[in-house]
Amino acid sequence: MAMSVGGDATEKPLSDINTTPLVDVMLVLLIIFLIAVPVAIQTVKVKLPNVRFDPTTTKPENVSLSITSDASGACKVYWGVAPVTQQELLDRAVAKLKTEIARQGGPNAAGLELPEAHIRGDVDTPWHCIGGAIFNMQQAGFARVGFISQPGVGAGA
């Protein structure tokens, strides 16, 4: 910045700020952000399914589990209406799959349809109770483990 001195008495010193460097810096920052933002926000293109209420078809070979917890937080798992421990759940699930596979003609039978596990979890049940049941069913060999829920008001197809 320079100040003008001299000349006649009506001239005043120049006190304007030179904004050209400021504008240059701002333009450079704008260009940097325009280049950097798309690099920072990388996403994978995924087509998500449409959410709608699909009624479940209950087959007699499917396993219905109900999971609750008591006041102390202890998990309670029911196979149908019979209470089971986690080890009993695993043993019964393995036996159920073996029986169903044998009924359909063995593991190499064409069109083998394995049973599903349908879990009804109480709203106040801790996640580890439901997660433990899911883990045991998957360890037993159940490929399809789903949740049964109550549709909200106005939910429909």
The answer to whether the CB of 65 falls within 8 A of the CB of 109 is no
Cα(137)–Cα(66) distance, integer angstroms: 13
Most confident by average pLDDT, 13-17, 87-91, 117-121, 151-155: 87-91
Residue 116 neighbours by CB distance under 10 Å: 19
Residue span of the structural domain in which 85 resides? 63-147
Strands 75-79 and 63-69: antiparallel
CATH code of 81's domain: 3.30.420.270
4 occurs within a structural domain: no
Asked whether residue 83 is domain-assigned, the answer is yes
Q: What pTM does this model have?
A: 0.60
Assigned domain for 11 exists? no
Residue 134: its pLDDT value, please?
93
Q: Which residues contact 86 (CB under 8 A, 6 or more apart)?
A: 75, 77, 132, 133, 136
Cross-strand pairs, 68: 76
The candidate with the shortest Cα–Cα distance to 97, out of 130, 147, 140, 60, is 140
Residue 79 lies in a domain: yes
User: Tell me: the pLDDT tens digits for 105-150?
Assistant: 888 888 888 889 999 888 888 889 999 999 999 999 998 888 887 7
Examine residue 34 and state whether it is found in any structural domain, yes or no.
no
- Report yes or no on 13 lying in a domain: no
For residue 39, tell me if it sits in a domain.
Answer: no
Q: How many domains are there within the chain?
A: 1
Give per-residue pLDDT as tens, 23-48.
Answer: 999 999 999 888 888 776 766 665 65
* In-domain check, residue 75: yes
DSSP H/E element including 35: helix 20-40
